[in-house]
Each structure stands twice: as structure tokens, then as C-alpha cells.
């Protein structure tokens, strides 16, 4: 039996068991910590992109025995039938007894890596590219679109490390390193650390690969939509597709506000000239006159609305802020795309 995180417990921590996927793993853990932390302490790295704040819902598990009464956050996160079926957030329940859970089988393959920052450079004034060489283990298997969770060690006097998700920008054939693109969120715990403190040569830890976002195996034309550091998975996909010569017609809409927010536009335009299947549509929503911008202008949703024909049989892939993604999905639906052809990764 485990309790919600707000419930006080006067029982002292003790050893309990967690049975995962009907016995695929049996773990003995200390009580008193959250299910998420207990699993992590035993090498099971559930995604937890919001760092346990109950926002991302990525740490969801199905509790098959020893479930706790859902708290307010879980009641908001899940429908009643989902809660009745055992869905819970692992960051929201504290262990005070044995528990049985089900997680997607691929979660058991997520590893913890020790790495070293090989390079950190500016893509724009507020986006950095980080290349991390993997030391132990020294290689990672992933598919384009997946992400890693970077660990920031103990940012606060009290409490443990924080974990944040960053999409992998490098292609899967580069197994000994991962590249990330990180936008500075003013006041943000981890992105400020990456921008202001992390330096070349520094050791870092990360877990991965996480996530389900990625290209389907269909031959349908593709629409890619990204803003800012949402470029990351598409940079991986583009380089991978080009190398494997596995091209599908692709129109890439990349939206930022001003010229100073734009990056890789020259490289992507050059690729568009070279690759017959690839079209690049860089867009500014609020250019300054001094930007001398001759490309598309408008919110990315307006530009997508102008370029994408009604009734298209394309698949759409979106990455970036939740607001941009939700607004773009509305436009795509109006163009006739069903939800079964729309795939996205929200950066929140
Ligand atoms: C699957 C996934 C993949 C991601 N990939 C990337 C990536 O490739 N590159 C990247 O830069 N980020 C990515 N993110 C976002 C990233 O994980 C962090 O949320 C982000 O770096 C902010 O973390 P922080 O610790 O700096 O801010 P926090 O301390 O968590 O937040 C500080 C404040 O900023 C707000 N905030 C948090 N995130 C944002 C945001 N994105 N925009 C505006 N306000 C925000 C919070 O609500 C809070 O008020 C991804 C997120 C997910 C879920
Ligand atoms: S870690 Fe984000 S909801 Fe649990």
C-alpha cells in the first residue's frame, strides 16, 4: 500500500517490494520515497520531464496492486475510468508497502549514462548546442525523435537532483555522443544551469532513450513544424534520412520571432537546393525592418495555413511549445488531417 505525497506517515521507512510487469523485475526498496525515486534507485528510469511536479504525466504507470488513493493532481491528470483501471503518476505516490506495477516494456531498456561535455556553443543568443560524449556506457541506441533526460545535481540546498528532457539532435548512427539544443528559459532551473554553468569538459549524467515521438514507416509526404529548439529532433531526422537515402517528400516549417532567433537557415536552404524531396520554409512572426527578411512572415499557423493544400494526404510531425503545437493541430485538422496522421512532442 502506498500513500499520496501529501499524506503524512508516522511509519518509519522499511523495505518493500515492487513487482514490475508481472515479475519481469522484482525490486526491494526503502520506504518513504516516491515510487518514481524508488524505481530510479533500482535502475528503472521512467520519463519524468517535469521533474516530479505532476505536470508532464510521463511517469504514468498502471498500479496492479497496492494502489494509493489518487490525489488532486492525479484526479486532474486522468479520467475516472483510467484511475479505476490503476493509472497513477509515479512521482505522486510514496512507498509504504508492497506494490505491483506495469510499465511499457521499453522503459526497462532505458539506461543511465555518464558523459562529458565535448562542446557547448551558441546557436542563437538564447539557444545553445551541447555535445556530450558518452563514457559509461559509451554508446546509445535510439531512434530519431527520442529524448534524453539530463540530470542537474542538487540545485537546491534541500532535495535531490532535477531532471529535464532534451530531444536528441544528432542522428542515431552517432552512437558515442548525443547533441542537444537547449533554449534558455528565464528563471528556469536546468536551462539556466546549462547556459550559465555547464562548460566544456564537465561530466554530466543522463538517462535515455525516452519517448515515442518519431517517424512512421509510411511513404506519405511529411509536414514538419517546429519553433526554436523544437528544431532538435528534425535536425536528427533530416541527417538520418539523408544518409540512409530513405527520403519521403518533406516540407519543413520552422518558425521563430526575429532574425536573431533563426539558426541553421542557410544550411537547411542549401539542403533544400540539393535534395529534391526536401522543402524548407523558414518563417518570422515579428521581423524588425533591420532584419531585411524576404522569407515568409506570420505566425507559423498562418504560414502552414497558406502553404498546405486542403485534403492533403501528408503526415504531420510537430515539436516545440504546447501553445504552438495546439494551434498548429487546429490548422492541420481544418486541412483534413485526422489525428491518426498528426504526431507531436510538446516541450513542457
Ligand atoms: C519530451 C520533451 C522534450 C524536450 N526537449 C527540449 C529540447 O530539445 N530543447 C529545449 O530547450 N527544451 C526541451 N524541453 C523542455 C525542457 O525539458 C525544460 O522544460 C526546459 O528546459 C525548462 O526547464 P528549466 O528547468 O530551465 O525550467 P523550470 O525551472 O522547469 O521552469 C521555470 C519556469 O519556466 C516555465 N517554463 C518551463 N518550460 C518552459 C518553456 N519551454 N517555455 C516557457 N516557459 C517554460 C515553467 O512553467 C516555470 O514557470 C523538452 C521537454 C519535453 C517534455
Ligand atoms: S514526473 Fe512529470 S508528472 Fe510525474
In this structure, what are the phi and psi dihedrals at residue 133, rounded to the nearest 5 degrees?
-80, 135
Ligand 1 atom with least separation from CA of 47: 1
In this prediction, residue 334 has a pLDDT band, given cuts at 50, 70 and 90, of: very high
Nearest CA to ligand 1 atom 19: 348
In this structure, what are the phi and psi dihedrals at residue 186, rounded to the nearest 5 degrees?
-55, 125
Condensed to tens digits (0 to 9), the pLDDT of residues 44-78 reads 999 988 878 898 899 999 999 988 899 999 999 99
> pLDDT value at position 7?
35
Q: Is the CB of 185 under 6 A from ligand 1?
A: yes
Condensed to tens digits (0 to 9), the pLDDT of residues 82-97 reads 999 999 999 999 888 8
- Report the separation in Å between the CA atom of 10 and the middle of ligand 2, taken as the mean of its atom positions: 25
Q: Is the CB of 35 under 6 A from ligand 1?
A: no
In this prediction, residue 15 has a pLDDT band, given cuts at 50, 70 and 90, of: confident
The distance of Cα 179 from the centroid of its chain, to the nearest Å, equals: 14
In terms of Cα–Cα distance, which of 217, 267, 201 is closest to 238? Answer: 267
> pLDDT value at position 155?
66
Q: Is the CB of 49 under 6 A from ligand 1?
A: yes
Condensed to tens digits (0 to 9), the pLDDT of residues 215-236 reads 998 999 999 999 999 999 999 9
> Is the preceding peptide bond at 137 cis, omega within 30 degrees of 0?
yes
Condensed to tens digits (0 to 9), the pLDDT of residues 119-174 reads 999 999 999 999 999 999 999 999 999 999 999 987 666 667 888 999 999 999 99
Q: Is the CB of 178 under 6 A from ligand 2?
A: no
Ligand 1 atom with least separation from CA of 183: 11
Condensed to tens digits (0 to 9), the pLDDT of residues 307-330 reads 999 999 999 999 999 999 999 999
Contact 344, 167 (CB under 8 A): no
> pLDDT value at position 157?
64
- Report the separation in Å between the CA atom of 164 and the middle of ligand 2, taken as the mean of its atom positions: 11
Instruction: Give the up-direction half-sphere exposure of residue 35: CA atoms within 13 A in the CB hemisphere.
Output: 33
Ligand 1 atom with least separation from CA of 152: 25
Nearest CA to ligand 1 atom 45: 185
Please list the residues that pair with 18 across neighbouring strands.
27, 99
In this prediction, residue 299 has a pLDDT band, given cuts at 50, 70 and 90, of: very high
Answer yes or no: is pLDDT of 200 > 90. Answer: yes
Q: Is the CB of 89 under 6 A from ligand 2?
A: yes
pTM beyond 0.85, yes or no: yes
Answer yes or no: is pLDDT of 14 > 70. Answer: no
> pLDDT value at position 5?
44
> pLDDT value at position 49?
81
Q: Is the CB of 52 under 6 A from ligand 2?
A: yes
Could you give all domains of the chain from N- to C-terminal order, each with its CATH number? 2-107 (3.10.20.30), 111-210 (2.40.30.10), 222-346 (3.40.50.80)
Nearest CA to ligand 1 atom 50: 347
Condensed to tens digits (0 to 9), the pLDDT of residues 254-298 reads 999 999 999 999 999 999 999 999 999 999 999 999 999 999 999
Answer yes or no: is pLDDT of 8 > 60. Answer: no
Mean pLDDT for 233-245 is 90
Amino acid at each position: 500500500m502506498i500513500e499520496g505525497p501529501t499524506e503524512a506517515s508516522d511509519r518509519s521507512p522499511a523495505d518493500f517490494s515492487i513487482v514490475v510487469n508481472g515479475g519481469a523485475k522484482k525490486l526491494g526498496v526503502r520506504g518513504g520515497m516516491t515510487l518514481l525515486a524508488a524505481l530510479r534507485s533500482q535502475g528503472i528510469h521512467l520519463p519524468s520531464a517535469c521533474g516530479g511536479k505532476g505536470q508532464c504525466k510521463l511517469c504514468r504507470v498502471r498500479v496492479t496492486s497496492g494502489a494509493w488513493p489518487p490525489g488532486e493532481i492525479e484526479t486532474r491528470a486522468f479520467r475516472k475510468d483510467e484511475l479505476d483501471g490503476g493509472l497513477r503518476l509515479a512521482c505522486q505516490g510514496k512507498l509504504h508497502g508492497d506494490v505491483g506495477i506495469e510499465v511499457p516494456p521499453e522503459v526497462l531498456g532505458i539506461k543511465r549514462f555518464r558523459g562529458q561535455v565535448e562542446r557547448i556553443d551558441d546557436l542563437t543568443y538564447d539557444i545553445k548546442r551541447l555535445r556530450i560524449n558518452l563514457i559509461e556506457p559509451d554508446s546509445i541506441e535510439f531512434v530519431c525523435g527520442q529524448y534524453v533526460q539530463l540530470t542537474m545535481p542538487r540545485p537546491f540546498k534541500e532535495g535531490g537532483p532535477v531532471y529535464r528532457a532534451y530531444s536528441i539532435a544528432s542522428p542515431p548512427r552517432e552512437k558515442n555522443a548525443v547533441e542537444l539544443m537547449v533554449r534558455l528559459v528565464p528563471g528556469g532551473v536546468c536551462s539556466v544551469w546549462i547556459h550559465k554553468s555547464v562548460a566544456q569538459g564537465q561530466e554530466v549524467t543522463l538517462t535515455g532513450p525516452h519517448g515515442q515521438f518519431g517517424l512512421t514507416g509510411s511513404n506519405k509526404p511529411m509536414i514538419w513544424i517546429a519553433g526554436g529548439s523544437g528544431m532538435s529532433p528534425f535536425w536528427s531526422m533530416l541527417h538520418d534520412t539523408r544518409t540512409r537515402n530513405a527520403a519521403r517528400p518533406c516540407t519543413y516549417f520552422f518558425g521563430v520571432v526575429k532574425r536573431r532567433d533563426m539558426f541553421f537557415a542557410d544550411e537547411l536552404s542549401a539542403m533544400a537546393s540539393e535534395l529534391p524531396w526536401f522543402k524548407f520554409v523558414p518563417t518570422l512572426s515579428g521581423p524588425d525592418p533591420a532584419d531585411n527578411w524576404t522569407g515568409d512572415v506570420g505566425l507559423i499557423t498562418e504560414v502552414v495555413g497558406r502553404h498546405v493544400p486542403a485534403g492533403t494526404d501528408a503526415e504531420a510531425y510537430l515539436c516545440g511549445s504546447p501553445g504552438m503545437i495546439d494551434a498548429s493541430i487546429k490548422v492541420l485538422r481544418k486541412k483534413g488531417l485526422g489525428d491518426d496522421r498528426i504526431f507531436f512532442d510538446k516541450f513542457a
